[in-house]
Structure 1
Amino acid sequence: MAERLQGIFTPNLVPMTQHGEINEAELRRYVDWLIEKGVHGLYPNGSTGEFTRFTPEERRRIVKIIADQTAGRVPILAGAAEANVKETIRACEYYHEVGVRAVAIVAPFYYKLSPASVYAYFKEIGDNTPIDVTLYNIPMFASPIDVPTVQRLSEECEKIVAIKDSSGDLPHMIRMIQAVRPNRPEFSFLTGWDAALMPMLLSGCDGGTNATSGVVPELTRALYDLTTSHQIDKARQLQYDLVKLFDVMLYSAEFPEGFRSAVELRGFKMGCGRQPMSSEQKTDLQTLSKELQCMLSTHGYSDEPIGGCPIDGNSAGNADEVTRIVSTVVAELKRRGMVD
């Protein structure tokens, strides 16, 4: 049996040249840095990696470069979603050949499909793929994968071994775990919502595919280690820090430009993304970059920008919400006798 998918898989961004092409040398350097900083695995061709903005050939090249540079040091979970079942299965076959651990496949997007159609889509892939498959639920962008569909696919398709859920819906995650684990105890559950990483881990998740880990891999690895070793108070404080950084990168610019700007501050030449920006957006991004630099400098991940940083007097907002979620999860786990 293949090793279970667990830990933090980084949905790595792709550095670009000034001409808008893949910067292979910088991508290789970025991969080495992420591994050195402790990520458990890499996740190319995800939403953060802007998979829809690359051609199928470019997506394959990205995975091949990362697989070559990784050289087996950490497992790779490669995004394999294409426009239809036939092309998706072909992508699965290619990624199997280059040696990735598993693929992640988003539910059909653009057309909103019924649960029956979502099931049929993944069943066709699960029955015809040579590589392990992770379902990818991201309802804000694609047809949702409901709990009965996950349960049915887990029981009928041996090659479907995990689900990555980016809804941020904690009760939905708990319901999936309750439905699937009794018959597939080795099935993995990964969260793609950074703001709820700690509560998700406490509820039974095996890890996450978290965009913030591509910026501060040290922080997400520490949060994972502290949570899984039940050092709750220390983990909670890191979750507060993660939420604040995540929110700024996610909501202050077109996704994932905030994350690209932050990775640039960590010392990488990211270049411009494929999505054109207006002059106003470019100005806003420069302002965001200074704010991000101040946030990163607070934790020693960057120097302060020229002119210094403003004093932040507001730290309670997201912390209160995280405290509430964590307390609820821990209380429920204690009620069930799952933690002391």
Structure 2
Amino acid sequence: MTQQKLQGIFTPNLVPYSADGSVNEDELRRYVEWLIERGVHGLYPNGSTGEFTRFTPEERRRIVAVIADQARGRVPILAGAAEANVKETLAACEYYASLGIRAVAIVAPFYYKLSPASVYAYFKEIGDNTPIDVTLYNIPMFASPIDVPTLQRLSEECERIVAIKDSSGEVPHMIRMIQAVKPNRPDFAFLTGWDAALMPMLLVGCDGGTNASSGVVPELTRKLYDLTTSHQIEGARQIQYDLVKLFDTMIYSAEFPEGFRAAVNLRGFNMGHGRQPLSTEQRTDITALSNELQCMLAAHGFTDQPIGGCPIDANAGGGEAEVSAIVQQVVAELNRRGLM
């Protein structure tokens, strides 16, 4: 049976921790429900944002099982299935297939930098033996890159390889991949993992994205997708500008994905302390970052301003966007105080 093409915004799920460092399953379920209610097209556990390398194989499987149980088929799930070798990866594919997962995402071999021939052989072995559809995951900053000739060859030889998620953020690379694959595989899906280029990626032919920001502001990423795909360019452009500012702050101001975890806390969740130990200075920096993120979220009415308020951007020039942001902040504060 032909399955629906992977399309839209798939949210890379952050994982909340309990005080003892275990997965807080109740909070994870609440978070999944919140994301679905706010219109995400799909869920993406066990990705980079979900810190998949910091969990045991058993924990990774349990995370997907909990999310699948909570989602109850309302949205498709793209589950990270990358393990240390082909045998274990295929075992993960078997398990996720048994859960009814739509597809798995598998990163190219990491730690060892491999040649294109080795990357091809790795995915060919998986593509020939997987019981579930596979999305290739190209993230060259962390793993062996998947070049265009390798992608084209795999797409033509392996029916089960149905998509690629590219986190390079390079628009020309995405165009080259689409040009190489689409003529022979019109059903093949292209997803971007780089939030700062979501709008231009959609405009050049991407089918959607796996975007960490959607785990913080699912309302904005969904709206950006809808506006862009319906060619309402001016509205989409403004949201993309806002998203870049938020994304840059979350990804560059703290160790990834701590900035995103801090922002999700501001949306009303208890994400707990991550498994990566932080220095005293880093914890202080995250406190300062949280105040900055709170001001950004308050500007969109997603949370209240921090105590003491938010500074006015001196470089904004008093434009319409600044006035709108100030009005939203004032309305949010009045609502908080019960005056509206």
TM-score normalised by the shorter chain: which range applies?
over 0.9
TM-score by length of 2: 0.92
Provide the residue aligned with 1:56 in structure 2. 57
Please state if 1:288 is matched with 2:289: yes
Provide the residue aligned with 1:163 in structure 2. 164
Structure 2 counterparts to residues 21-170 of structure 1, below 5 A: 21-170=22-171
Task: Name the SS of the counterpart of 2:180 in structure 1.
Answer: helix
Provide the residue aligned with 2:236 in structure 1. 235
Provide the residue aligned with 2:334 in structure 1. none
1:283 deviates by 0.4
Provide the residue aligned with 1:304 in structure 2. 305
Please state if 1:261 is matched with 2:262: yes
Structure 2 counterparts to residues 193-204 of structure 1, below 5 A: 193-204=194-205
Listed one character per residue, the Cα deviations across residues 58-86 of structure 1 (whole Å, up to 9, x for unaligned) are: 00000000000000000000000001110
Please state if 1:271 is matched with 2:272: yes
Tell me how far apart the structure 2 counterparts of residues 72 and 151 of structure 1 sit (CA, whole Å). 31
Task: Name the SS of the counterpart of 1:10 in structure 2.
Answer: strand
Provide the residue aligned with 1:325 in structure 2. none
TM-score by length of 1: 0.92
- Equivalent residue letter for 1:99: G
Gaps of 5+ in 1: 317-340
Provide the residue aligned with 2:322 in structure 1. none
- Equivalent residue letter for 2:5: R
Tell me how far apart the structure 2 counterparts of residues 282 and 59 of structure 1 sit (CA, whole Å). 27
- Equivalent residue letter for 2:224: L
Go from structure 1 to structure 2 and tell me whether the alpha carbon gap of 1:91 and 1:314 turns closer, same or farther (over 3 Å shift). farther
Listed one character per residue, the Cα deviations across residues 7-45 of structure 1 (whole Å, up to 9, x for unaligned) are: 000001001001111000000000000000000000000
Listed one character per residue, the Cα deviations across residues 303-325 of structure 1 (whole Å, up to 9, x for unaligned) are: 00000011113459xxxxxxxxx
- Equivalent residue letter for 1:158: E
Structure 1 vs Structure 2 CA RMSD: 0.8
Please state if 1:216 is matched with 2:195: no
Task: Name the SS of the counterpart of 1:133 in structure 2.
Answer: strand
1:56 deviates by 0.2
Tell me how far apart the structure 2 counterparts of residues 119 and 28 of structure 1 sit (CA, whole Å). 37
Tell me how far apart the structure 2 counterparts of residues 19 and 203 of structure 1 sit (CA, whole Å). 46
Please state if 1:16 is matched with 2:22: no
Tell me how far apart the structure 2 counterparts of residues 272 and 118 of structure 1 sit (CA, whole Å). 35
Go from structure 1 to structure 2 and tell me whether the alpha carbon gap of 1:54 and 1:234 turns closer, same or farther (over 3 Å shift). same
Tell me how far apart the structure 2 counterparts of residues 164 and 171 of structure 1 sit (CA, whole Å). 15
Gaps of 5+ in 2: 318-340
- Equivalent residue letter for 1:287: A
- Equivalent residue letter for 1:76: I
Tell me how far apart the structure 1 counterparts of residues 258 and 311 of structure 2 sit (CA, whole Å). 23
Task: Name the SS of the counterpart of 2:177 in structure 1.
Answer: helix
- Could you list the runs of 4 or more consecutive aligned residues of structure 1 that deviate by over 3 angstroms after TM superposition? none
- Equivalent residue letter for 1:46: G
- Equivalent residue letter for 2:77: I
1:203 deviates by 0.2
Provide the residue aligned with 1:249 in structure 2. 250
Task: Name the SS of the counterpart of 1:285 in structure 2.
Answer: helix
Provide the residue aligned with 1:174 in structure 2. 175
Task: Name the SS of the counterpart of 1:183 in structure 2.
Answer: coil
Number of equivalent positions: 316
- Equivalent residue letter for 1:156: E
Task: Name the SS of the counterpart of 2:240 in structure 1.
Answer: helix
Tell me how far apart the structure 1 counterparts of residues 151 and 235 of structure 2 sit (CA, whole Å). 33
Listed one character per residue, the Cα deviations across residues 291-311 of structure 1 (whole Å, up to 9, x for unaligned) are: 000000000011000000111
- Equivalent residue letter for 2:188: F
Tell me how far apart the structure 2 counterparts of residues 120 and 305 of structure 1 sit (CA, whole Å). 52
Tell me how far apart the structure 2 counterparts of residues 9 and 228 of structure 1 sit (CA, whole Å). 16
Go from structure 1 to structure 2 and tell me whether the alpha carbon gap of 1:178 and 1:34 turns closer, same or farther (over 3 Å shift). same
Identity of paired residues, percent? 82
